[in-house]
Amino acid sequence: MFSNRTGIVYESISTVPVVPPLRAILSALLSSGVVVNLYTAFALQRTKINSLLTKLLLYQQNLLDSLFAILTISLIFTNNYRPKSNSIPVDWVTCYVFQSGVLSRIVRIATICNSVCQSADRFWAIIYPKTYRVYKRRYIVLCSLIIPIYSILTSITRMVKVTLINGSCMKKDVQINKYTSWVLESMLRYVIPIFVLSLLNVLVIRKLYEQKAVILKQTHSQSGTQDCSHVICEQGGNGSISGPLNSVQKNIFLNTFFLAVGLTLVEIASSVLAVMSMFNMVEHSVSSLSRVYYLVAVVLLSGLNRCVEILTIPMLRNTVLIHWRMCISFCRKN
């Protein structure tokens, strides 16, 4: 805060304004991602998925991706939630929650944790099919606790890097080596989640091959009397696995591949920008324009997950096809 001839001027952590044409293009792209996520959530509501945990995690993924896109749009339009006038003081919520970037970080990490829980859901359903339904409520509670707690704990460093003094929100130097801080954040944000994600899927694939459950020829036979917990069905007392096993393999490989590639690309970009920022080659702070473009890229890559989701879940894909045919039929009639 400082004074001039016109009165008191308050400082805030604001980004460089994006030119109006580019702002309109970015907002249109991000808004389309929100629409796709919301439609996928609507299609999930119309789709029968026997596992409550599976359906809950899919819903959460859509909502988290939509929320992250909305936060990015609002960041672009408000220049990192800067007040309309520098004569207006910054309140503590705007400073510590929005301008610090902690809310966007929490939502982003929650999205990653939700993806890890989806792999854990497949792990429980395939490795322990008999107890999957028995302890489903415990699994739901466990995932519901892990996602927010881990996201908040790994994002708290953003909040301690800003300070609010007399209505001005400013950056604050913390008593931690910047290299140590970057390594710690990368470990919590990327290394641990992707390690757990890969481990769970490798164990599932190994289990399927051990039981000779992965088949190369797709089967179209379905039984109306079987209760499929997730993407497999449990039969008899011999513990054998049957059902759409080709879909199991496809789900595991496609979801793991696209998620791992997406997370890797995002973290490589973030790591490169962070290293360049430490050597003063570019600015990649919370108020930098490079961070805005980085968030946009994250949103666009996250939007691709909806396409993979629709393509790899047969029941959801059938629902989308039904809606598409209904739209075509309606357009032809009118």
Enumerate the domain spans of the chain. Answer: 2-333
Maximum alpha-carbon separation in the chain: 85
pTM of the predicted model as reported, rounded to 2 decimal places: 0.81
DSSP state of 15: P
DSSP string of 244-310? SHHHHHHHHHHHHHHHHHHHHHHHHHHHHHHHHHHTTSS--STT-HHHHHHHHHHHHHHHHHHHHHH
Sign, Cα dihedral of 211, 214, 215, 221: positive
| Residue 233 parent element (H or E) | strand 233-234
* Residues of the chain falling short of pLDDT 50: 213-246, 248-249
User: What's residue 243's pLDDT?
Assistant: 46
Tokens, residue 288: 């930098």
User: Quick one: pLDDT at residue 233?
Assistant: 40
Predicted pLDDT of residue 250: 55
Q: 2-333: which CATH topology?
A: Rhopdopsin 7-helix transmembrane proteins (1.20.1070)
The pLDDT tens digits for 240-263 are: 444 444 454 456 556 666 766 777
